[in-house]
Amino acid sequence: MTRQLFQDDAYLAEATGVISAVTDEGGLILDQTVFYATSGGQPGDRGSLNWDGGTCEIATTVKGPDGPVLIPADGATLPPVGMEVMQSLDWRLRHTHMRVHTALHLLSVVIPLPVTGGSISDGKGRLDFDMPEAPDDKAALEAVLNGLIEADHVVTDEWVDEEVLDSNPDLVKTMSVAPPRGAGRIRLVRIGAGAETVDLQPCGGTHVARTGEIGPVRLGKIEKKGAQNRRVYLHLV
């Protein structure tokens, strides 16, 4: 299994690592990585690997059976198995994903309805809600959302036994994204602390450390998706 360094420190933009395998498709597997693999609506990281005598652009990162698989750009020279490399993220892009991702947690607070899907991209994101009627005051929702951001709540994660989740099914807001599980434990992401907790849900993504770091956001269009669902877009300003 690849050690996923971003789970403990989302702010790690660089780290060393050793190439442990190259897949048949030319994907790179490392002993440990800062590259987040596409999942839960968050895109995989891109960046570069540098080693003694070589460099390789990473176009994206996907999920493999043993953890993230780094996908080199077309035509890139691959580091050999056993080589120690320096991994560097495209930090501007990753940090933007962290800001949008954390903002989507807050969107699920101001629209307290079941989430059926979601997606994050560069500077914007969306959630699909089980919401038969469109909200009648988008400006009011946007004001509450920006209030939660400006309150600069701390964002932390904690691992709990799976039974805690199984006995509190209300914690799972996102029906389409199975929370990360492993060795009987599950990762919860908390916004706010103690009695001031604003949101608590299982999530394996990367988040900013405080909500103020998201900066102001605006709500975009709200699309009807079938009889039951509305797609709500959120943009960093």
Q: Which residues bind Zn ion (CB under 5 A)?
A: 203, 205
Q: How far is the CB of 40 from Zn ion (least distance, A)?
A: 7
Q: CB 81 → Zn ion: shortest distance, Å? A: 33
The least CB distance from residue 215 to Zn ion, in Å, is 17
The answer to whether the beta carbons of residues 72 and 26 sit under 8 Å apart is yes
Which contiguous run of DSSP H or E holds residue 219? strand 217-225
To Zn ion, the closest distance from the beta carbon of 39 in angstroms equals 11
CB of 4 to Zn ion, least distance (A): 14
- Taking the least distance from each CB to Zn ion, the nearer of 105 and 230 is 105
State which residue, 51 or 233, has the beta carbon closest to Zn ion: 233
In terms of CB distance, is 29 or 153 closer to Zn ion?
A: 153
What minimum distance in Å lies between the beta carbon of 173 and Zn ion? 10
Tokens linked to 176: 């389409």
Q: Which DSSP symbol is given to 154?
A: B
In 3D, which of 92, 118, 100, 109 has the Cα closest to residue 217? 100
Nearer to Zn ion, 29 or 110 (CB): 110
Residue closer to Zn ion, measured from CB, 125 or 205:
205
Quote the tokens at residue 81: 């198995």
- Looking at the Cβ atoms of 88 and 156, the one nearer to Zn ion is 156
Give the bridge partners for 86, in sequence order: 16, 50
Token output for 137: 């005051």
- Give the whole-angstrom CA distance, residue 43 versus residue 40: 8
Return the structure tokens found at 4.
């996923």
Which residues, including other chains, have CB under 8 Å from residue 126's CB and lie 6 or more apart?
Answer: 118, 119, 231, 232, 233, 234
Structure tokens at 84: 């120690």
Is-contact 78 72, C-beta < 8 A? Answer: yes
